[in-house]
């Protein structure tokens, strides 16, 4: 589209300069309209991709599109900062108008949140001055911080898991010891009962023997 616009402008310019016998000068080129046209052409493609991923609810693909959008800004800055500024503004307007959808897809994904911020939080005027990199660095720092937080959370989960396993092991050990103690108590009780029964029989035998002896003696 960019090439087409410039080609048309070139043809128009040549057509006007060919009328050398006319003293009337050609009308000035509307540079604002050209900038807006180029920005619109560049933004339309990325916005269509953003729309597709929001409808699909794919956070990973959405992050890839946002990264591509940021890369496109860097490319446009080198070519024409004014076009880059308008491009950023148009993409930001789309993200703003669809903030609820973006939030629903992004959720708590820190990496995608950073990718959104890399575009949504940049000042369009800063783009003209080539300051997009600072925002990109901030987004990278946010992403790194999120990664560190995730690593700390994972480490905490591992420690919590270890503590839970150790607690469960202690519970199992305590339960096993209780069973051993219960078995010992039951065995001791049984032994005491057997000993008492044997003693009772022994006493009864002695009493019976004494009674038999007395009977024989006629006592």
Helix or strand holding residue 96 (H, E): helix 81-97
Cβ burial, residue 216 (10 Å; 0-12/13-18/19+): exposed
- Residue 211 covered by a domain: no
- Residue 106 covered by a domain: yes
Please tell me the total count of domains within the chain.
1
- % of the chain with per-residue pLDDT over 70: 74
pTM over 0.75: no
More confident residue, 25 or 120: 120
Give the residue from 75, 69, 71, 4 showing the smallest Cα distance to 37.
Answer: 4
Mean pLDDT, rounded, for 20-26: 48
Name the one residue in this structure whose structure tokens are 């987004």.
139
- Residue 67 covered by a domain: yes
Q: How confident is the model at residue 64 (pLDDT cuts 50, 70, 90)?
A: very high
Whether 24 shows a pLDDT value over 60: the answer reads no
Q: What pLDDT, on a 0 to 100 scale, did the predictor assign at position 141?
A: 61
Q: What pLDDT, on a 0 to 100 scale, did the predictor assign at position 137?
A: 59
- Residue 77 covered by a domain: yes
Mean pLDDT, rounded, for 95-113: 90
Whether 49 shows a pLDDT value over 80: the answer reads yes
Tokens representing 20 are 């050398």
Q: Give me Rg for the CA atoms of the chain.
A: 44
Three-class secondary structure of residue 114 per DSSP: helix
Whether 206 shows a pLDDT value over 70: the answer reads yes
Q: What pLDDT, on a 0 to 100 scale, did the predictor assign at position 52?
A: 92
Task: Report the range out of 4-8, 33-37, 144-148 with the highest average pLDDT.
Answer: 33-37
- Residue 200 covered by a domain: no
- Residue 44 covered by a domain: yes
Cα 150 to Cα 142: distance, rounded to the nearest angstrom: 12
Which whole-number Å values give the CA distances from 154 to 35, 145, 147, in the listed order? 48, 14, 10
Q: What pLDDT, on a 0 to 100 scale, did the predictor assign at position 79?
A: 84
Which range among 29-33, 69-73, 127-131 shows the weakest confidence by mean pLDDT?
A: 127-131
Which whole-number Å values give the CA distances from 218 to 210, 212, 214, 215, in the listed order? 12, 10, 6, 5
- Domain boundaries, position 77: 2-17+27-130
**Sign of the dihedral through C-alpha 188, 190, 191, 195:** positive
Q: What pLDDT, on a 0 to 100 scale, did the predictor assign at position 131?
A: 53
Q: Are 26 and 9 in contact (CB under 8 A)?
A: no
- Residue 171 covered by a domain: no
Mean pLDDT, rounded, for 32-41: 80
Instruction: Look over the chain and give the mean of its residue pLDDT values, rounded to a whole number.
Output: 77
Mean pLDDT, rounded, for 67-75: 87
Neighbours of 5 (CB within 10 A): 14
User: What is the separation of C-alpha 118 from the centre of its chain, rounded to a whole number of angstroms?
Assistant: 17
Cα 193 to Cα 216: distance, rounded to the nearest angstrom: 35
């Amino acid at each position: 589209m960019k090439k087409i616009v410039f080609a048309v402008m070139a043809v128009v310019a040549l057509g006007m300069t060919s009328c050398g016998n006319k003293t009337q000068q050609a009308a000035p080129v509307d540079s604002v309209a050209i900038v807006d046209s180029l920005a619109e052409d560049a933004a339309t493609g990325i916005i269509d991709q953003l729309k597709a991923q929001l409808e699909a609810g794919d956070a990973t693909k959405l992050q890839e599109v946002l990264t591509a959008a940021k890369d496109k800004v860097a490319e446009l800055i080198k070519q024409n900062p004014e076009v880059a500024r308008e491009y950023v503004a148009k993409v930001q307007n789309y993200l703003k108008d669809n903030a609820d959808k973006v939030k629903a897809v992004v959720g708590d994904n820190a990496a995608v949140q950073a990718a959104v911020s890399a575009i949504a939080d940049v000042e369009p005027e800063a783009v003209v001055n080539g300051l997009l990199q600072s925002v990109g660095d901030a987004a990278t720092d946010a992403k790194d911080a999120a990664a560190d937080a995730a690593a700390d959370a994972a480490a905490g989960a591992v420690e919590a898991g270890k503590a839970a396993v150790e607690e469960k092991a202690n519970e199992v050990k305590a339960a096993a010891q209780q069973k051993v103690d219960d078995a010992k108590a039951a065995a001791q009780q049984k032994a005491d009962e057997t000993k008492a029964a044997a003693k009772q029989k022994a006493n009864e035998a002695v009493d019976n023997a004494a009674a038999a002896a007395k009977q024989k003696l006629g006592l």
